[in-house]
């Protein structure tokens, strides 16, 4: 009985972790899908979202305003989106097509961003306190009491996935994005302002990283260094799931999140290896990722 | 290539080596060990990447990891390290084992990434490198977790400790020169030419009957060996190894060195490592003591934006007008370059 409830808890932990990974990695995947830009600063965007959100959240929380957390979420998304927009507009847009150079530029940006965040916010770890409605624990059949916020995390991920699906499949912007993924020069020739679409997609992808930053920062404390963790996770998730595919990102996030939690439960200090065994196996059998299309 | 008179480049290399060998007589010990010695050992790690990128077209971010494998294997084996995990293996045996392990790690990375190219290869090697870092940090049994392994002092050379300024300097210089010569030699062998063929057109190389995948994996193995040599020297220089020294920061720093110096010739790795070390040491005087990374990041960005082929490219473009005038003159019958056999067949 105890073992059974432990298994359910591990599975739930894996699921909630996968939800967070999906939120962050879907932004990475979206940007890669349209622009072939490997955004090595995606972890920095996560951290920028978390810190900017915290800067707004903290004074409001001290004044005991009920919407403090929601304002933090908004600020985190906005800050990351604006930073991403600026990056695409100032640095990446004019070197479209030079993939390696773009990756190097984003590495440079991530070095500077991490150092400046350290200068401004210091090395202490911080954590958001979610509003009362999401705080505390919920009684779940089979698992006992489980943190409500983690369940909320799953709901957010599902909402993000549905939202992205609707955006890509039911709107004009989504149509343009999908066309751009397939044949960018043709889309340009049809008179679509592709640089503008790129800016919108970059802002959206960056905003998702910012959202992930606040959500992740509410579930667990965050500090300098988590940018590396979430860059790595985004990389592994999209490599496993398939680059530029939202459904693939979901599959990759589920696999990686589950593997991490199950690994930690079974063999704690070797759990990282499990993630990389999965990655190596996928690469060996399907280099384009589980749901990726051949390049 | 053909025997007879040595080329101007070879003469210049020997002259540079002689100058560097005499350098410690002229500069203070701090510069000998902490600027030049350090630039050589990090330059070796950087050169393993330059070798892959320049001649194979593989931009790998796993070179620090391969160096770290060598460093950790040596640290686990050698006597007097703290904590002693295996211990008692003399340096004469531990060093070859460490280099073998680094070569094996290179082959492994090459095999995992064998079907990927360009930006995908970059991502996969980065993921492997950071994964190894996180594993080393979490594992106590073999890596002593976050703390790492201290007091890896290096072998005694002629009764002198490895930490002696001059022993370290000449060991670093000698290793760097030998490995540099090795790379220049290998790229002229049939193996090296096939490698350059893979860089230019992998399908044609396969069509000619070469096993492109096997050549790629072998190139990664050689790069692993080179990175392992560098990683060992770095470990001796730092008197130990910890997960922090193989994390994302150091991994990216190697790429930064290569790009600052210029991906185009192995010497660029050492130029970049020297520039990087100078920045690292004197950033406090230039900008702000704690904001060294902002400075390095900004310089890196500037180089990528302005001159993607690094300092070497800048120098080449500065010299080009002079050289261009000379070439118009009598030296019209220039020798074909080494890449000609593959490029000429059209």
Its ipTM equals: 0.84
How confident is the model over A217-230, as a mean pLDDT? 91
What does the pLDDT look like over B46-104, one tens digit per residue?
Answer: 999 999 999 999 999 999 999 999 999 999 999 988 888 888 899 999 999 999 999 99
Written as six digits, the tokens of A269 are 């200090």
Q: Which residues of A touch B120 (CB under 8 A)?
A: 239, 243, 287
Answer whether B95's CB lies under 8 Å from B216's CB: no
Domain ranges of chain A: 2-285
Say if the Cβ atoms of B119 and A270 lie within 8 Å.
no
The arithmetic mean of pLDDT across residues A90-119, rounded, is 90
Tokens matching residue A69: 């957390």
Tally of CB atoms within 10 A around B334: 7
What integer pLDDT is reported at residue B337 of this predicted model?
34
Distances (CA, A) of A69 to A73, A126, A141: 6, 14, 29
Burial class (CB in 10 A: 0-12, 13-18, 19+), A157: buried
CA A150 – CA A133 distance, rounded (Å): 12
B255 vs A109: CB contact, 8 Å cut-off?
A: no
**pLDDT-derived band of residue B327, with 50, 70 and 90 as boundaries?**
very low
For chain B, give the percent of residues with pLDDT over 90: 59
In this complex, which of A38, A269, A287 lies closest to B116 when CB atoms are compared? A287
- 3-class secondary structure, B160: strand
Query: Whose CA is closest to A213, among A200, A227, A199, A203?
Result: A227
Contacts of B304 in chain A (CB under 8 A): 101, 104-105, 108
Query: Would you give the distance in Å from CA A92 to the centre of its chain?
Result: 20
Nearest-angstrom CA–CA distance, A21 and A258: 11
**Overall average pLDDT of the A12-39 stretch:** 92
Residues of B in contact with A270 (CB under 8 A): 135, 138-139
* Six-digit token string for B143: 């890596």
CATH architecture of A2-285: Orthogonal Bundle (1.10)
Q: Which residues, listed in sequence order, are joined to residue B157 by a DSSP beta bridge? A: B160
Q: Which residues pair with B150 in a beta bridge?
A: B82, B240
* Cα angle value B89/B90/B91 (rounded, 5°): 120
Confidence category of residue B342, pLDDT binned at 50, 70, 90: very low
Q: B138, A109: Cβ pair inside 8 Å?
A: no
* Rounded distance between C-alpha atoms, residue B346 and residue B344, angstroms: 6
* Pair A76, A211: CB distance under 8 Å: yes
**Number of residues in chain A:** 295
B126–A105: do the CB atoms touch at under 8 Å?
Answer: no
Q: How confident is the model at residue B3 (pLDDT cuts 50, 70, 90)?
A: low
The number of residues in chain B equals 346
pLDDT of residue B328: 42
User: Residues B32-36: contacts with CB within 8 Å, 24+ apart?
Assistant: B32/B165, B32/B166, B32/B169, B33/B165, B33/B168, B33/B169, B34/B277, B34/B281, B35/B274, B35/B277, B35/B278, B35/B281, B36/B169, B36/B172, B36/B173, B36/B274
- Whether A272 sits inside 8 A of B112 (CB atoms) is no
Contacts of B269 (CB under 8 A, 6+ apart): B43, B44, B46, B47, B49, B50, B257, B258, B261
pLDDT of residue B19 exceeding 70, the answer is yes
B291 in A contact zone (CB under 8 Å): yes
pLDDT at residue B35, as a whole number: 94
Residue A90 neighbours by CB distance under 10 Å: 10
Please name the member of B130, B140, B294 whose beta carbon is closest to the beta carbon of A232: B130
DSSP lists the bridge partners of residue B240 as B150
pTM of this structure? 0.85
Q: C-alpha distances in angstroms, B320 versus A113, B9, B261?
A: 37, 16, 18
pLDDT at B167 over 80: yes
Using DSSP, how many helices (H) and how many strands (E) does chain B show? 15, 2
Closest CA to B251 of B111, B1, B48, B37: B48
Which range is least confidently modeled, A42-51, A232-241, B5-14, B204-213? B5-14
Interface check B113 vs A, CB under 8 A: yes
SS (H, E, C) A176-236: HHHHHHHCHHHHHHCCCCHHHHHHHHHHHHHHHHHHHHHHHHHHCCECCCHHHHHHHHHHH
- Please state, in angstroms and rounded to a whole number, the distance separating the CA atoms of residues B86 and B75: 9
Rounded-to-integer distance, Cα B308 and Cα A58, Å:
42
Q: What is the pLDDT of residue A208?
A: 97
> HEC profile for B82-99?
ECCCCCCCCHHHHHHHHH
- 3-state SS class at B241: strand
């Amino acid at each position: 009985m105890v073992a059974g409830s432990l298994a359910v808890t591990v599975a739930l932990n894996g699921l909630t972790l996968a939800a967070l990974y999906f939120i962050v990695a879907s932004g990475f995947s979206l940007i890669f899908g349209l622009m072939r830009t490997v955004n090595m600063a995606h972890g920095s965007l996560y951290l920028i979202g978390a810190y900017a959100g915290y800067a707004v959240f903290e004074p409001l929380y001290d004044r005991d305003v009920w919407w403090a957390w929601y304002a933090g979420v908004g600020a985190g998304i906005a800050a990351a989106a604006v930073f991403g927009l600026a990056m695409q507009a100032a640095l990446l847009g004019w070197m479209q097509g030079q993939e390696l150079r773009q990756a190097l530029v984003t590495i440079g940006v991530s070095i500077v961003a991490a150092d400046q965040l350290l200068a401004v916010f210091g090395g202490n770890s911080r954590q958001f306190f979610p509003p009362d409605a999401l705080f505390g624990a919920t009684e779940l059949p089979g698992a006992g009491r489980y943190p409500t916020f983690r369940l909320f995390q799953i709901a957010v991920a599902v909402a993000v996935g549905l939202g992205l699906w609707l955006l890509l499949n039911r709107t004009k912007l989504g149509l343009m994005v999908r066309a751009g993924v397939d044949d960018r020069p043709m889309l340009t020739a049809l008179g679509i302002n592709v640089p503008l679409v790129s800016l919108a997609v970059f802002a959206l992808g960056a905003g998702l990283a910012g959202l992930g930053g606040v959500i992740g920062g509410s579930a667990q404390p965050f500090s300098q260094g988590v940018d590396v963790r979430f860059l790595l996770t985004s990389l592994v998730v999209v490599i496993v799931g398939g680059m530029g595919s939202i459904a693939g990102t979901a599959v990759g996030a589920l696999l990686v999140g589950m593997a991490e939690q199950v690994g930690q439960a079974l063999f704690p200090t070797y759990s990282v290896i499990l993630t990389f065994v999965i990655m190596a196996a996928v690469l060996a059998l399907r280099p384009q990722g589980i749901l990726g299309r051949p390049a | 290539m053909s025997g007879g008179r040595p080329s101007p480049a070879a003469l210049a290399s020997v002259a540079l080596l002689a100058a560097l060998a005499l350098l410690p007589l002229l500069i203070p010990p701090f510069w000998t060990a902490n600027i030049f010695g350090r630039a050589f050992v990090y330059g070796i790690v950087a050169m393993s990447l330059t070798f892959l990128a320049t001649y194979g077209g593989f931009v790998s971010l796993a070179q620090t990891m391969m160096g770290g494998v060598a460093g950790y294997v040596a640290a686990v084996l050698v006597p007097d390290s703290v904590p002693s995990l295996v211990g008692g293996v003399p340096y004469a045996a531990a060093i070859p084992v460490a280099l073998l392990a680094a070569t094996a790690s290179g082959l492994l990375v090459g095999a995992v990434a064998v079907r990927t190219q360009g930006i995908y290869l970059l991502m996969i090697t980065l993921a492997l490198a950071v994964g190894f870092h996180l594993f080393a940090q979490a594992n106590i049994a073999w890596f002593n977790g976050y703390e790492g392994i201290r007091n890896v002092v290096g072998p005694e050379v002629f009764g002198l400790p490895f930490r002696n300024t001059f022993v370290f300097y000449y060991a670093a210089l000698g290793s760097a020169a030998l490995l540099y010569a090795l790379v220049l030699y290998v790229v002229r062998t049939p193996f090296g030419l096939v490698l350059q063929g893979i860089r230019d057109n992998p399908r044609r190389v396969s069509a000619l009957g070469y096993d492109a995948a096997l050549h790629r994996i072998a190139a990664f193995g050689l790069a692993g060996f080179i990175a392992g040599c560098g990683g060992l020297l770095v470990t001796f220089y730092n008197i130990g190894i910890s997960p922090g020294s193989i994390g994302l920061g150091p991994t990216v720093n190697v790429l930064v060195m290569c790009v600052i110096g210029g991906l185009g010739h192995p010497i660029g790795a050492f130029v970049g490592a020297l520039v990087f070390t100078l920045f690292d040491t004197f950033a406090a005087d230039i900008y702000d003591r704690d904001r060294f990374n902002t400075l390095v990041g900004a310089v890196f960005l500037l180089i990528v934006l302005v001159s993607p082929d690094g300092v070497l490219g800048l120098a080449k473009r500065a010299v080009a007008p002079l050289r261009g005038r000379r070439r118009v003159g009598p030296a019209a019958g220039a020798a074909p370059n080494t890449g000609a056999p593959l490029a000429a067949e059209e």
